[in-house]
Amino acid sequence: MLNDGWGLRVGHTSLGDTGVTALVADDPQGMVAAVDVRGGGPGTRETDLLEPHNTVERVNAILLCGGSAFGLAAADGAMRELERRGVGFKVFGDQLPGGPIVPIVPAAVIFDLAVGDPSHRPGPADGAAAVADAFANEGEEQASSSVGVGCGATAGVLRGGFGSAHAHVGEYTVAAYVAANPVGSVVDPRTGLLYGDPSWPAVDVEAFRKLKRPVPRLNTTIGVIATDAPLTKAQMKRLAITGHDGIARAVVPAHSPLDGDTLFAVSVGEDAGRGIPDVGTLTALGAAAAGVVQAAIVDAVVNAVGDLGVTAWRDMAR
C-alpha cells in the first residue's frame, strides 16, 4: 500500500528508540480529513480544524510521532519541507500569485519515553526527513513494526510498533497505518492468544504473566485510516469513529485514561469530498475501517523484534 499510485505516500525517520512516520497526499491540493480522539491522554496538533463544522477541508500530510508532547515539534519540519516543495494551502488563493502557502499538517504522538533514552525525541529535522522519505520511496514495500513512529512502541508488556493493513469494499480500498503502543494488552492472559487475531500461535501463558511492564504506564495507539472512496469531511469523521472499534477488538482495555488513542481518516484522489449518498456503502466502509485498524495492530505486534529491554511476541509464540 506504500506509494503505489493510489493517492498516499508513507515515509519514516527511524531513530532507534523513537521516530516519525509521515503520510503525505499525492495530490498537491491535499486530502479530505477528519479525526476522532478517544484516549484520555492525547497529544495532538491541528485536530480542531478537522471537525466537520470548521473551514479547512483538506490537509497535506499527517504526522505520527514518538517523543510524547516533545515530538509534536517534528510537524514544524514537515511543514517547512512541504513549503519548500510548494505544497500547502494558498492563503490568498489565486488573487495573489506567488503569495504565502501554509502546509496543513495535523499530528499525534505516542508516549515512548519509558524505553531507550527519554531525552531522545524527534525534532523538526526528523519531521522534514520523514516527509522527504515519503516522496523518495515510490514503489517500495511498506515496512512493519520497528520503523518510524513504531521504533519505541510497546504493546502492554510486549514490543509494539508500526503496522498496516488494507481491505476492499467494492471498487474502493480502505487502509490503516497504525502505531500500536497501547497501555492495554494485545494478548489474552487466559489463553495466550492475540485478541486481534486468535489464529496466530499462542504465547506461553505462564511466561507472559511474568513479564514486567515498562513504567510508567503511559501509552497510546494512533493511526491513519485512508480510503479512495470520495467521502465528505463529515463522512470521514464517521470512518474515524468506527475505526476505533478496531482498537477495542485488538487491545484490552482500550481508550483508557492514560492512552491518547487518536485516529485520523483521509480520503484521497481527485474526487475526494464529493460524497457518497448510499448508506449501505458507508456502513461497509466503516466496518472495513474497524477491520483494518484491528489487523494493523496485529501486523505491528507479530512483526516486532525484541529490543530496548522489551520482549517481542515472536519470542514467546509457540
Question: What pLDDT, on the 0 to 100 scale, is given for residue 216?
Answer: 58
Cα distances (Å, whole numbers) of residue 8 to 117, 229, 260: 32, 13, 24
Question: What pLDDT, on the 0 to 100 scale, is given for residue 258?
Answer: 82
Which residues of the chain fall short of a pLDDT of 70? Answer: 1-6, 138-143, 214-217
Distance CA(63)–CA(20), nearest Å, equals 7
Question: What pLDDT, on the 0 to 100 scale, is given for residue 269?
Answer: 81
Instruction: Provide the grid cell at 89.
Output: 494551502
Q: Is 87 within 8 Å of 39 (Cβ atoms)?
A: no
Beta strands in 111-213 (DSSP E): 154-155, 158-159, 161-169, 172-180
Question: What pLDDT, on the 0 to 100 scale, is given for residue 215?
Answer: 59
Nearest Cα to 244, choosing from 42, 20, 58? 42
CATH number of 8-315: 3.60.70.12
pLDDT tens digits, 219-232:
889 999 999 999 99
Q: Is 178 within 8 Å of 172 (Cβ atoms)?
A: no
Q: Which residues contact 71 (CB under 8 A, 6 or more apart)?
A: 18, 20, 43, 65, 109, 110, 121, 122
- Could you tell me the end-to-end alpha-carbon distance of the chain, in angstroms, rounded to an integer? 30
Q: Is 187 within 8 Å of 180 (Cβ atoms)?
A: no
Instruction: Provide the grid cell at 101.
Output: 502557502
Instruction: Locate all alpha helices (DSSP H) within 91-136, ordered by sequence.
Output: 124-136
In the chain, what are the domain boundaries?
8-315
Q: Which DSSP state fits 68?
A: G
